[in-house]
Amino acid sequence: MPTPEQMVLGANRILVLCHTSPDGDGIGALAAMGHILRALGKQATLACADPVPREYRFMPGTDAIVQRPEGEFDLVISLDSSDLPRLGEAYDAAKLAHVPLLNIDHHITNLNFGTVNWVEPNSASTCQLVLRLADGLGVEITPEIATCLLSGIVMDTRGFTTPNTDLAALRAAERLVAAGANISDIARKLLVQRPFSMTKLWGDVLAQAHLEDGVVWASLPASLMAQSDASANGLSGLVAFLAGVEEARVAVLFRERNDGRVEVSLRSVPGVDVSGVALAMGGGGHPQAAGFTLAEPLADVEAKTLAAVRALLKGSGQADG
C-alpha cells in the first residue's frame, strides 16, 4: 500500500472533501489541504456538500470551497469523515468509484472506506494529521495554513478544554502559533462569539431542557430554528454548555431540520462512551462526542435515543462516578 505522501505526490488533479454539516476541523483541514496541494503544484478542487457556515469563512481559502465539484480527478482525499455517506452529494459515486481514495480521519467509528485509510482515533483533530502530512511532503507552514489548522484543533478540543486535549494537540498548537496563527482571535470566532438571535435561541432551548436519570437533553424543533439566522456552530456550543450540567453524565441535543430529518448530538463525561450509540444509529464520532441523523419524527427520535442512552448508562454502571 502506498503511503499518504506517495498518493499525493503521484496525483495531479485532486478532489478534497469534508463531511456534510461541516465543523471547524473539517473546514480547516479542507482549506489547509488546498494551500498545501497548491504549494506542491497540484490542481486541487475543494468541496463540501453543504455551504461553508459563516463562522468558518475567516479561514483563508474557504471561498474556493464548492458544493458540487466538476471535472476529472486522479485522487480523492476525504477529511474528518467516518463514512462515505457523510460526504453527501459532494462525492458522486457513479463518477468517482474507480478513483483512488485517501481517507484521513480521527473518528474511532471510521469504517475504513478508502483505498488507503489513515485513521488515528487518538489524534484530537484531523487538522493535526494534515499538519503531519504537510511536514511529510516538505511543505512550509504559512500563516494561512497555520490559521486553518489551528482552527481545527481549537474547534475539536473546544479551546483545549475537552478530554481529547493532550500534549500532541498542545505541541501542534504551539507550532501553528509560531507559524503565524492568532489563537485568541480563532478561539473568539469559533467558540465565544454568536449572533444575538442564536443567544436568544439558546435561552428558548435551555428553558425547556430536561434532566432525567443522569441525562440532560433538549430539542430544537424546526419552527424555533426558523426564527434565527443562526447556523450550526452555535449549536455545538449549546450542546457543550448542556454537557456542563453537573448532574448529567450524558447530554443530548435534538435538532429538527427543515427537510424533516433530525440531527442528534451526544456528549458524555469520561468513562461513558457514546460513540457506539451513534454508530448503531448509522452515525459516528468519538467516545465523548458523537452524533447521527435520522429521517423520523422528532418525538420518535427522542424516545429511541433516550432509551439507547439509558441502556448505555445502566451498562456502564457507576464505574466512573
Catalog residues that contact ligand 5GP under the rule CB under 6 A.
23, 82-83, 86, 107, 236, 239, 265, 283-286, 289-293
Phi and psi at residue 148, to the nearest 5°: -65, -50
Q: Order of strands, edge to edge, in the sheet holding 43-48?
A: 43-48, 13-18, 75-79, 101-105, 116-119
Q: For ligand 5GP, give the closer residue by CB, 147 or 275.
A: 275
The CB density around residue 189, as the number of other CB atoms within 10 Å, is 19
Q: Order of strands, edge to edge, in the sheet holding 250-256?
A: 210-212, 215-220, 250-256, 262-268, 289-294, 284-285
In the complex, the smallest distance separating the C-beta of residue 23 from Mn ion, rounded to whole angstroms, is: 7
Q: What is the CA radius of gyration of the chain?
A: 19
Q: For ligand 5GP, give the closer residue by CB, 249 or 286.
A: 286
In the complex, the smallest distance separating the C-beta of residue 267 from ligand 5GP, rounded to whole angstroms, is: 7
DSSP-derived 3-state class of residue 18: strand
CB-based contacts of 178: which residues, under 8 Å, 6+ apart? none
Give the interface with Mn ion as residue ranges (CB under 5 A): 25, 80, 126, 156
In the complex, the smallest distance separating the C-beta of residue 113 from ligand 5GP, rounded to whole angstroms, is: 11
Residue 293: which of ligand 5GP, Mn ion, none does it interact with, CB under 5 to 8 A by kind?
ligand 5GP
DSSP annotation of 83: S
Residue 256: which of Mn ion, ligand 5GP, none does it interact with, CB under 5 to 8 A by kind?
none
Residue 149: which of ligand 5GP, Mn ion, none does it interact with, CB under 5 to 8 A by kind?
none
Q: For ligand 5GP, give the closer residue by CB, 228 or 275.
A: 275
Q: For residues 28 and 65, is the Cβ–Cβ distance under 8 A?
A: no
In the complex, the smallest distance separating the C-beta of residue 278 from ligand 5GP, rounded to whole angstroms, is: 6
In the complex, the smallest distance separating the C-beta of residue 85 from Mn ion, rounded to whole angstroms, is: 17
Residue 162: which of Mn ion, ligand 5GP, none does it interact with, CB under 5 to 8 A by kind?
none
The CB density around residue 124, as the number of other CB atoms within 10 Å, is 25
CA–centroid distance for 251 within its chain:
18
Q: For residues 137 and 8, is the Cβ–Cβ distance under 8 A?
A: yes
Q: For residues 57 and 4, is the Cβ–Cβ distance under 8 A?
A: no
Q: For Mn ion, give the closer residue by CB, 25 or 55.
A: 25
Residue 18: which of ligand 5GP, Mn ion, none does it interact with, CB under 5 to 8 A by kind?
none
Q: For Mn ion, give the closer residue by CB, 25 or 256.
A: 25
Q: For residues 291 and 278, is the Cβ–Cβ distance under 8 A?
A: yes
Q: For Mn ion, give the closer residue by CB, 25 or 263.
A: 25
Q: For ligand 5GP, give the closer residue by CB, 192 or 280.
A: 280
Residue 55: which of ligand 5GP, Mn ion, none does it interact with, CB under 5 to 8 A by kind?
none
Q: Which three cell numbers stand for residue 31?
A: 482549506
User: By Cβ distance, which residue is nearest to ligand 5GP?
Assistant: 291
